[in-house]
Chains A and B, each alone.
Chain A
Amino acid sequence: MTGKRFERWVGDHKDRVYNLAYYSLAHREEAEDVTQEVLLRMWKYRDDINEDTLGAWLARVTRNACIDVVRRRKAYSSRIVVNGDAEQFVNARSREPAPDEMAMAWEFGSKVERALATVQEPYRSVVILREIQDMKYEQIGETLELPLNTVKSYLHRGRRMLRERLNDPGGK
């Protein structure tokens, strides 16, 4: 593959990867790191990837990278709890967006955004792909390798979870 073709792939898909990462993590720097990691994996496996299914491949890799980030967060939080610093634990869990994002975001939109990042996988990815990235059920099924009925049921469950998080932000 040539550098030019790779640049075209990056241009075509970078925003979608970044959006999925950002709305999965509700954290700008982590979303940037994930996007960079995913695009470099695309470069690494460029000769093995089928361009027709590149979008689905990227969504899968992005989702897995986000899951890894969340796992690392949990591991980090647990270590702090073991050390007995409850305040740090709370701070580690409730990652607030950067002040400039906060100022720009509409309050309710910001709440939805943060609540969405607390919805469990795979429900969260289905909600993001459907409601934010406007993908069709069939595309989501191909991307996440799920049957159509499962996509629909995960979407409904994910939205219910989101409502529960917003109605009761403290409960998980």
Chain B
Amino acid sequence: MTDISHDCGWLRKHIEAFLDDELSNDAKERFENHAATCRTCRAEVEQAQRILTQLRQLPALECPDDVVERVRETALPDDGPNRIREWFARAWAPSLRPALATITVAAIVLTSIWVGRVNRTTIDPEEVAEAQAALKWTLAYVGEVSERSGKAVRDEAIRNGLIRPVQRALESIHQGSDVEPETNGG
């Protein structure tokens, strides 16, 4: 049997394991028996328990709002650039790629027609009608996809960057087809 009266050193060595309830039953009994008979060790265990309890009760603090505000001001000084980045991220979302691809193709076709017009004496009204139909179909498709995806495709950037230039090209072609026959015929 262990002589618990000389266990001070042993107890000190195992005090952390006792606090974490990690001692075996035998060791725990030995620990408690010694603490019950040794006033110094008992005081030490009680003080350790008190400190640990206090440590675990230290309040969870909230980060002050002004710290977050300073971080926000430095990291996100102006929403503009981020909005643009977010718009590009949205615009390249997989659900919108077909619409953008169609717009691009339509823009290329219409531009080719418009450029081709410069070296031609007349424009076939059928070509204009076809281009108009293609554009209408494209715009309808974009509208439908944007509705379905719930994304803000009708963003100003889309309108200004893609749709309006195509519309202008179409109008230019349309005006050219009205005017040129007269010019060429004169």
Q: Which residues of A contact B (CB under 8 A)?
A: 2-3, 6-7, 10, 14-15, 17-19, 22-23, 32, 35-36, 39-40, 43, 108-109, 112-113, 116, 127, 131-132, 155-156, 159-160, 162-163, 166-167
Contact = CB atoms under 8 A, between A and B. Distances in A.
A43 B58 contact: no
Given A2-B89, A39-B75, A43-B71, 15 more contacts: A3-B76, A3-B79, A6-B76, A10-B72, A14-B67, A18-B67, A32-B64, A39-B67, A40-B74, A43-B75, A112-B54, A131-B52, A132-B58, A156-B17, A159-B51
Interface of B: 16-17, 19, 47-48, 50-52, 54-58, 60-64, 66-68, 70-72, 74-76, 79, 82, 85-86, 89
Contacts of A43: 71, 74-75
Given A19-B60, A131-B55, A163-B48, A2 B68 contact: no
A32 B67 contact: yes
> Per DSSP, are chain B's interface residues mostly helix, strand or loop, or mixed?
helix
Contacts of B47: 163, 166-167
Given A2-B86, A3-B82, A14-B68, A162 B55 contact: yes
A2 B71 CA distance: 15
Contact of B55 (A14, A15, A19, A127): A127
Contacts of A109: 54, 57-58
A17 B63 contact: yes
